[in-house]
Structure 1
Amino acid sequence: MARRKRRAFTPESKADAVRLAKAGDRSIGQVAKALDLTETALRDWIKRANIDAGHGPSGALTTPEREELQRLRRDVKRLEMDRDILKKAAVFFAKESE
């Protein structure tokens, strides 16, 4: 069986799916099937929505916190590269001045 192409969903469509699943009149499996989703994807969206609403486990990062963490990690990586380049340049110029 061929793998399905990965689809992208807007935050609004995810929120709508979570709202339908939380309504309680249908099971998560039924909602997922009706929306042509996997149960796992829908359960992950529900879990993420609960964390963002402050109902998740203590210490769990909300979506904005996760985005900030990713941005900060990218910045650290870039700054480490800059530092390494400057170290190499310092060694190069120290050898050249001898």
Structure 2
Amino acid sequence: MEARQRRSFTDDYKRQAVDLVTSSGRSIGSVAKELGLRDSVLRRWVEQRGAGREPTATARRPTTQATVPSADHAAEIARLQRENERLRMERDILKKSIAIFAGTRT
């Protein structure tokens, strides 16, 4: 049985792989698969390069930054909440009327 030879990568290659993860917003797993690497190897490189800059959990998973909703979005959210409440009330009324016509009371 032939032993697998350990691959070595240059610092420049590692830096480019880490940059691909951080700039693309894709997961470490998908980038590692694309580059033909194991997830654990690329994750270690990301953690090593990100040491002191951001926490490990942030380096593993790309996150989206929360933004303050604009006035239009806030108005839309309020409208949808009112509509949701109205639909719940209509649903409850229909449930009660079905129960009445079926002959059972809740």
Q: What TM-score results when the alignment is normalised by the length of structure 1?
A: 0.48
The structure whose residues are more often helix, as a share, is 1
Q: What TM-score results when the alignment is normalised by the length of structure 2?
A: 0.45
Determine which structure has more spread, i.e. the larger CA radius of gyration. 2
Higher relative contact order, structure no. (Cα contacts within 8 Å, ≥ 6 residues apart): 2
